[in-house]
Amino acid sequence: MTSAPLPSSPSGTGLRVDAERNRQRVVAAARELFAELGIEVPMEDVARRAGVGVGTLYRRYPTRADLIAAAFEAKMSAYADAAQQALADPDPWHGFCGYVEQICAMQAGDRGFTTVLTMTFPTAKQFESDRARAFADFTTLVERAKAAGKLRADFVTEDMPMFLMANAGVLTATTDAAPDTWRRLVGYLLQACAAPAAQPLPDPPRPRQMYKAMLRATRHQRDRS
């Protein structure tokens, strides 16, 4: 069964159908290139892969930030949903482990993902709402896992970006030769998080310090790409 052809009248978004089709092509091309090469890919390359002119791209997305927010909107929604799903798990420890594994898997599948988590997009209201929802749910997940006596008491939310930075390093070093190595790293990290195995740790970094560290790490990753 074939789909009915798109009408030539304006779509519900206020764009002509061909303009909407071009927008979808641009977003799809940006998702692919950002995942493969990182978010510093030239805009001209995105336009070329989408099969549109650079002017068409800039008319819809005047800045790189606009395009990044559009390309990663679904990913950020999935990121927020992952925390919500983890909270729904009746076993807080199982939910916590599943969440860490899922977020690290998202990172493994998309080079731009970690970088985008360090960026803010004030004009992308839904994007920022999903980010806030993800953080609030993860904080609750951590508290529940601790209350259940399964997660070590000194785990802090800043440990998650530390995990992502460690995972990013493993992914960079092993993706071509041993692409599943990151799974072993995550297994080690989760075992270290278990309360029964906990040993005293040095003090954690402050939230602002960790945020600066993530910015520096992702900037270094972009410079190398």
Residue 81 lies in a domain: yes
pTM recorded for the entire structure: 0.79
Predicted local confidence at residue 86, as pLDDT = 97
Burial of 195 (0-12, 13-18, 19+ CB in 10 A): middle
Tokens of 93: 């420890």
Q: What is the pLDDT of residues 160-216, one digit of tens each?
A: 989 998 998 899 899 889 999 999 999 999 999 999 877 888 888 787 887 777 666
Q: Into how many domains does the chain fold?
A: 2
Range of the domain at 56: 17-71
Shared domain for 208 and 126, answered yes or no, is: yes
Residue 85 lies in a domain: yes
Tokens of 117: 């988590």
pLDDT, greater one: 28 or 211: 28
Q: Which residues contact 89 (CB under 8 A, 6 or more apart)?
A: 95, 98
Residue 158 has pLDDT above 60, yes or no: yes
Residue 66 lies in a domain: yes
